[in-house]
Structure 1
Amino acid sequence: MFCGILQAARTFRVYPAASIFIKGGSSYHNLPSCRHNLQLPAAHLKCFKIELRPMATSTKSTNRLAKEKSPYLLQHAHNPVDWYPWGEEAFEEARKQDKLIFLSVGYSTCHWCHVMEHESFENEEIAKIMNENFINIKVDREERPDVDKVYMTFVQASSGRGGWPMSVFLTPDLVPVAGGTYFPPKNTFGRPGFDTVLTSISNQWKENKQKFFDSGSKILEILERTSKLELNDGQSQISSESWKKCLQQLSKAFEHQYGGFSKAPKFPQPSNFNFLFQVYARNPESVEGKSALSMCVHTLKMMAKGGIHDHISQGFARYSTDEKWHVPHFEKMLYDQGQLLVSFSQAYVATKDEFFREIILDIITYVNRDLSHATGGFFSAEDADSLPGFDSPKKKEGAFCVWTNEEVDSLLGSKSVKEGSSVTLSDLACHHFDIQPDGNVNPYQDPHDELKNQNVLIVNGSEEETSEKFGLTLAETKAALKQIQSILHEARQNRPRPHLDDKMVAAWNGLMLSGLSKAYEAICDETVLDRAIRAADFLKEHMYNETTGTLLRCCYQDEKGNISQINEPISGFADDYAFVIRGLIDLYEASGQSRWLTWANDLQEKQDKLFWDNENAGYFSTAQNSHILLRLKDGQDGAEPTCNSVSAANLMRLSGMLERDELEEKAIKLLSAFKERLEKIPVALPEMSASLFLLQDSPTQVVVTGDPKSEGAQNLLAEIRSRLIPGRVLGFADGDEDGILYQRNATIKKMKVSKDGSASAYVCRNHTCSLPVTKPEQLRGLLDERLSSK
């Protein structure tokens, strides 16, 4: 028996050779193969017993991936496939043995990656074919987006579709010759089985290698041609009306009943919100402004009420499989939480609706509890799949999150919503969250019958309607719903947790840094700002090489929960720089601490040196690398915005703050390089379209003098932060003559801090600044005047 074991359990690492269960009372609690903060009901924290339960994989051999740190690669460390990580050892072996390379790319929370692993990579017969005929390489797409991007471009061009797992066959010189995504293990429904594909390609290679080399040369030529994105020369002017086309295209795609910009499946697409909130901020009273705000508010509310939002344990899932935002793909990604935090913060600032404030706190609660390392960094994701029970042989999608009617009734049916009432918490929960006796999941959204008789909680009505139905006050309903959430959340902790991908990615930490900074500005909660500063400190300490001035792509936990790196750390990519720079600028505007602006400026200079295309403008996604066939530029904002979209705004903001005209010129070249896309299909680049406003409208620069923490400064900042200001650039003239603003910005140097330290504010546009004002109402007039002039 062990007492006080909880702290040790938090940092204990378990490899797939065994499962560890902690027993408390009559319940078992699994410590999954990748570490996770252990959360147990208080009643079970008195004393624990540790049991080791061997798993089927314990007798299997270990391959090279066991030496890696990526959770995804470690998941495959006990496959019978002789996997190599991406690197020279594998390439040299392919050349030496004269074999094709089979490249498999995925990520640790990918449902279909798990399926293909179970069906094919754990299959001894298929593994034998792979080992005898190919050099097999596993890549974590989140760790190596450069590899993923090149070969996904090939797969999409050759097959018309993409996705993960991605399966590609390469010559020993890394040229792709065939590929696809998921393959079933055997021929089925007219689709070739993986064993058939392997055998066929292997035979063709042995019979006619020249055919592969010829084909590969043609494919590479096509990829090189298409990778240029048909960009312009970086000099042409973009129409000032191009943003209207983006608005028209989004309006046409908008789904009015449930919100969003597609039918099914539905993705959050935060880049769309960023653009639409900018349209609203430019002219809130215009038809375009009102329409843009309406699309944002409706979609965000429907998402928050839908099943894509975890009503019990907070946070948002990756996407919904249906048009109602009801049945999600249950994985939760850090990059979604960070971007949606910005979107809900903008919605709260625009509407002052407390509903949005609650969702801001909801996302922060989830990330702080389930995706945070103790020293400040953020983990990548939680899996969609988990075991339905500790003795279950197979994981199911959503098992951790869904509920049967019987479960809910047993947990809540004996508890009344208030003293003397015959209405139980179960009655209230079943009505409010649409919990049905036979489950509420449409069978068409459950092709594998994994959600049969299960309920995904969704709010079809409102708290007001629920109050009216049960004769309760709104306060009583809110209190009852809070009690329901607490009871169900505690019950959920008795279930096997989904796998946690505890890899920490610089780009995604940057997105979360922006989210926290914008959330602080929206709700003025100092604990949120403190959390953002801890996150930035973590990035500086663990994901930045001060000697070279470069970012690292990832860092990891070791067996003791300490931060570690692989032997040859992966250098940061362009999106790591772009997203971290934006996060640092946002943190500077939230905190007033110039050190973050200084670091952002340093990183921008390094990004320009490593990734800028001196010939055609814009940023390559990768730096020069002998193992990467093509240097590509992303031309579409997707689940994450492109580095070029974010960088365009970063350049304009830094230019305005630091009076660096060369950065504005670079932004103009970047945007002009994408001129054709921005004018023809701007809906593919909504984030970049939003960046256009900074160029075409000229930023609204607001400078606050004096101590940013003083009461006077805080009153002025509250006025600034009370509205969305298009192209806002916020600076602090705090009297620190060693600060970067005083060194770089001659205008700010002239903005004297008063002798008594009292705060004042200037509003500047088109290189012309107002006289200083000291009262919020005076500042309000200046800001309203500037807004109405756009």
Structure 2
Amino acid sequence: MDPTSGADPSGSNALAAEPSAYLRQHAGNPVHWQPFGDAAFAQSRDRDVPVFLSIGYAACHWCHVMAHESFEDDVSAEYLNAHFVPVKVDREERPDVDAVYMAATQAISGEGGWPMSVFLTPDGLAFHAGTYFGPRPVAGRPSFRQVLEAVTEAWQQRRGDVEHSAAQLAAGLAHSPLNHIAGLGLPAEPPGADILTAAVRALAASEDRAAGGFGTAPKFPPSSVLEFLLRHAAAGGPAAAEARSMASRTLTAMSGSALFDQLAGGFARYSVTADWSLPHFEKMLYDNAALLRVCAHWLRLPDGSDFPRADAERVVRMTAGWLLDALRVDGGGFASSLDADTVIDGVHREGATYLWTAEQLSAGAAAAGYPDDGPRLARMMNVAGRVRAAGNSAGRDRAPDGSPLHPGSPLHPAGPLAPADRRIWERVSPELLRQRAGRVQPQRDDKVVAGWNGLAIAALADAGLLLDEPTYLQAAAAAADYLETVHWDGAVLIRVSHAAAARGIGGLLEDYAFCADGLLALYAASGNERWYVLAEKLLLAAERRFVRDGAVADSAPESEQVFNAAGRVSSADPFDNATPSGTSAFAAALLSYAGYSGSTGHRALAEGLLGWLPTVAVKAPRAAGCALATAQAMLAGPLEVAIVGPDTPARAQLLRGAALDPSPGLIIAVGSGTSGGSGIGTSVPLLSGRGSGESALAYVCRMMVCLQPVATADELRRALNP
């Protein structure tokens, strides 16, 4: 066939004006990319050609590789433009699109990941899919051009078979076991203590005791599982010590590894190696918010030698500092990520900003005034005598003579530093950080995602309260103000904004849940009832939007094509992925709200949302960490602390004393409360009818039974631990 027949009549790439950083990265491609939407599918129908859907995100290394190899190639682009309508999607901006077509890709190819490459009918149904396709066949994987030609031949010569298989796939997705799990069947019994204990022991069976974490490489930080283990440790019981030990081994290993940025703080997305020594260098807001909160919650447990409080506090302060320095945008929100790659002289070099040679460390030590420290620095950070290509780039980013384009290694202490090594590191690391700041830096994706900002608000609020650090609370409040001002229109939470302008994509269940949970944490830390009121509005809006007829959905239909591809069924994924499950996070936020409001209906809804958990808690606990953590809180609570009185140091001491209690079921309300007929009002039912005049008091209530109020932190501690 003539490669120009049926050519794209628009003859242009339409991504230059898109706010998404990922889409704009492809605005210069010779491919005539279109943004996802009705117009692209109408063009597909008018031209009678399939849609080629490419999904990725700004910080994705292999997305950059495929873009360079396939989308920047004029010959490939010419063929693609002639035979398809090419559509680009930022998965972080449109997770509803990503989720449906990821399920289709896994069903078709048996694999998933990004970049994702999916071929669609004009109605949006998937009929062929894969992930990365390079310019040449490799290890049984066809080249991109071979895939395009095979799909074109099938579309032109066997259209009936293509459309039939696409319809069958959509029907199969509609009837998948996942949808039956997520149907929920409200109400249902949440798991009991025996199930949670069994889940801890199932996790122990998959733990990597030597290197920390679970499973083998690639190894991801198990944030939700760690939160569950901390809560189980705090609750006591036969597996409490085992839960603490697993959490401490993982936190110690990750924070003492190359996964954690030893100079500036913050965690990389995952490790290519099982021992956390070689990270995939993208740094995501959601990972760092979740891990910051976990490490802050570790501070509530009794101090010990397994992961000492000083080490945990160092990780909290460094990670919070990195969030504020590297990801905060104008207006107070937080950007999505830093790229895995550093672009140097037009070449994407994964992790180049973060890599060091022994010679560079020696030069840094000399510049800091300690020239004799260089060799020891190299040994303690495991870079002595090594040159290593980074992350997923190993063996790819090389010059024609075979030498690495970015020689060096990440800083990997392989565990906590000995006191003498710590002293050396602390006197030299400021100079190393200064030198690193002078290098080319990875690009930042400035997209603000509502839900991920909710995670950051929760983490900063908890860390600020536990460490008595007003800067963190101020940053959390600024981000909350940004969300209310930019993302919330009074009825719908918008998922994404760019440059303080909301992008008209309705939030997912996870956005509402993460934001509501973060706002409730900020209310507890600050006593500002504005945040409680906004959290309540979001939860009630989410209930109207995502819960109907005894079932819950992750998203409201934003696209007819996506709805078609899902078999015209709305569903929810109860399992954690890169972020906690929206279903489980919604249950967690509802549980807290029920404690504040006294709403038995919302507690029952939270219980129903976890009704699926007993069937999978032991079989797949690593995928259900958020649900397990929520179930642990449900079992332990509500334990309510209402702190009332004027905003004085005495009230602050009561608040911090309550916050340091590790009970998973703890709910803290703080404010002036009400005092008889004084006219003082509150929006928080837990405070209603409680007032103290000029004195701060704390009321402790268990299972709706309240003790006499107490006035000191010591009395409160005894009341919480009778």
TM-score normalised per structure 1: 0.84
Pick the aligned partner of 1:437 from 385, 391, 400: 385
Match of 2:511? 576
Pick the aligned partner of 2:187 from 227, 235, 241: 235
Match of 1:763? 700
Greater alpha carbon shift after TM alignment, 687-696 vs 578-587: 687-696
Pick the aligned partner of 2:476 from 529, 532, 536: 532
Pick the aligned partner of 1:426 from 348, 371, 374: 374
Unaligned runs of 5+ in 2: 1-10, 304-308, 399-403
Pick the aligned partner of 1:735 from 668, 673, 678: 673
Pick the aligned partner of 2:523 from 568, 588, 596: 588
In structure 2, C-alpha distance between the alignment counterparts of 1:453 and 1:527, rounded to whole Å? 38
Pick the aligned partner of 2:709 from 772, 777, 782: 772
Greater alpha carbon shift after TM alignment, 313-322 vs 107-116: 313-322
Equivalent positions of 1:381-392 (< 5 A) are 381-387=337-343, 389=344, 392=345
Pick the aligned partner of 1:551 from 493, 510, 513: 493
Unaligned runs of 5+ in 1: 1-60, 418-422, 468-476, 558-562, 786-790
Contact 1:762 1:773 in 2 (8 A): yes
In structure 2, C-alpha distance between the alignment counterparts of 1:416 and 1:538, rounded to whole Å? 44
Match of 2:661? 723
Contact 2:283 2:337 in 1 (8 A): yes
Contact 2:637 2:664 in 1 (8 A): no
- State the Cα distance separating 1:617 from its structure 2 match: 2.6
Q: Deviation per CA, 1:675-715: give whole Å up to 9, x if none.
A: 533464344212111211333333111111112x3121122
- State the Cα distance separating 1:453 from its structure 2 match: 4.5
> Which residue identity does 1:506 align to in structure 2?
A
2:195 is equivalent to residue 247 of structure 1? no
Match of 1:82? 32
Equivalent positions of 1:280-295 (< 5 A) are 280-283=233-236, 286-295=237-246
Seen in structure 2, the aligned counterparts of structure 1 residues 741 and 506 have a Cα distance that, compared at 3 Å, is: farther
* % identical aligned pairs: 32
Seen in structure 2, the aligned counterparts of structure 1 residues 582 and 743 have a Cα distance that, compared at 3 Å, is: closer
In structure 2, C-alpha distance between the alignment counterparts of 1:196 and 1:502, rounded to whole Å? 36
Equivalent positions of 1:14-25 (< 5 A) are none
Pick the aligned partner of 2:581 from 636, 642, 646: 642
> Which residue identity does 1:427 align to in structure 2?
P
Contact 1:622 1:632 in 2 (8 A): no
CA RMSD of aligned residues (A): 2.3
- State the Cα distance separating 1:416 from its structure 2 match: 4.7
Match of 1:70? 20
In structure 2, C-alpha distance between the alignment counterparts of 1:220 and 1:262, rounded to whole Å? 32
Seen in structure 2, the aligned counterparts of structure 1 residues 215 and 415 have a Cα distance that, compared at 3 Å, is: closer
Equivalent positions of 1:445-524 (< 5 A) are 446-448=394-396, 453-460=407-414, 462-464=416-418, 466-467=420-421, 478=423, 480-524=424-468
- State the Cα distance separating 1:237 from its structure 2 match: 2.4
Seen in structure 2, the aligned counterparts of structure 1 residues 342 and 91 have a Cα distance that, compared at 3 Å, is: same
Pick the aligned partner of 1:366 from 322, 325, 329: 322
Match of 2:562? 628
Match of 1:126? 76
Seen in structure 2, the aligned counterparts of structure 1 residues 677 and 617 have a Cα distance that, compared at 3 Å, is: farther
Match of 1:710? 648
Greater alpha carbon shift after TM alignment, 446-455 vs 360-369: 446-455
> Which residue identity does 1:646 align to in structure 2?
A
Match of 2:291? 340
2:42 is equivalent to residue 92 of structure 1? yes
In structure 1, C-alpha distance between the alignment counterparts of 2:54 and 2:679, rounded to whole Å? 48
Contact 1:621 1:634 in 2 (8 A): no
> Which residue identity does 1:531 align to in structure 2?
A
Contact 1:232 1:675 in 2 (8 A): no
In structure 1, C-alpha distance between the alignment counterparts of 2:450 and 2:683, rounded to whole Å? 29
Contact 1:111 1:384 in 2 (8 A): yes
Q: Secondary structure at the match of 2:534?
A: helix
Seen in structure 2, the aligned counterparts of structure 1 residues 623 and 724 have a Cα distance that, compared at 3 Å, is: farther
Match of 1:420? none
Q: Deviation per CA, 1:461-504: give whole Å up to 9, x if none.
A: 5443545xxxxxxxxx53x4233221111212222111111111
Q: Deviation per CA, 1:396-448: give whole Å up to 9, x if none.
A: 1111110122222233246554xxxxx62313422321221333679999343
- State the Cα distance separating 1:364 from its structure 2 match: 1.4
2:552 is equivalent to residue 618 of structure 1? yes
In structure 2, C-alpha distance between the alignment counterparts of 1:291 and 1:440, rounded to whole Å? 37
Contact 1:175 1:216 in 2 (8 A): yes
- State the Cα distance separating 1:239 from its structure 2 match: 4.1
In structure 1, C-alpha distance between the alignment counterparts of 2:465 and 2:684, rounded to whole Å? 26
- State the Cα distance separating 1:306 from its structure 2 match: 0.2
Seen in structure 2, the aligned counterparts of structure 1 residues 609 and 741 have a Cα distance that, compared at 3 Å, is: farther
In structure 2, C-alpha distance between the alignment counterparts of 1:440 and 1:135, rounded to whole Å? 40
- State the Cα distance separating 1:298 from its structure 2 match: 1.8
Match of 1:138? 88
Contact 2:466 2:656 in 1 (8 A): no
> Which residue identity does 2:533 align to in structure 1?
T
Q: Secondary structure at the match of 1:323?
A: coil
Q: Secondary structure at the match of 1:672?
A: coil
Match of 1:699? 638
Contact 2:266 2:319 in 1 (8 A): yes
Seen in structure 2, the aligned counterparts of structure 1 residues 438 and 278 have a Cα distance that, compared at 3 Å, is: closer
